Amino acid sequence: MVASAEIAAAFSQDIQTLADLAVGQSATVAAVDPQHAGISVARRLAEIGFLVGENIRVLARVPGGGPIAVRIGSSTFALRPHEASCVRLQLQRGTGG
């Protein structure tokens, strides 16, 4: 988890959430917002590797608001949209979309 100042700094940059990222697009984790999805979700995401500065890529999406398959480091995870929406991102320029 990150401090409130880090979350505020993340919002002032070119940020969107993991839930908004297109298939094939990459970004860097800027913050995990515990106020959005709850402290337990934010803690679990941090425990499995969703940490500030980590690169992330969306691999696939289930149509109709289903899970989102993402790669972070050498691991692949499926996140529910409400979990993905609390991961704030710094977009990487020149990545697929």
Give the start-end residues of each E strand in 1-97.
15-17, 26-32, 55-61, 68-72, 75-79, 87-91
Cβ neighbour number for residue 53 with a 10 Å cutoff:
8
pTM metric for this prediction: 0.76
**Residue pLDDT tens, the chain, 97 long:** 445 555 455 444 556 999 999 999 999 999 998 887 788 998 899 999 999 999 999 999 998 889 999 999 899 999 999 999 999 999 876 544 4
pLDDT in tens, 46-73: 999 999 999 999 999 998 889 999 999 8
Cα–Cα distance measured from residue 44 to residue 86, given in angstroms and rounded to the nearest whole number: 12
User: Which sequence spans correspond to the domains of the chain?
Assistant: 4-91
CATH architecture of 4-91: Roll (2.30)
Contacts of 78 (CB under 8 A, 6+ apart): 67, 68, 69, 70
SS3 69: strand
Phi, psi for 83 (deg, rounded to 5) = -70, -45
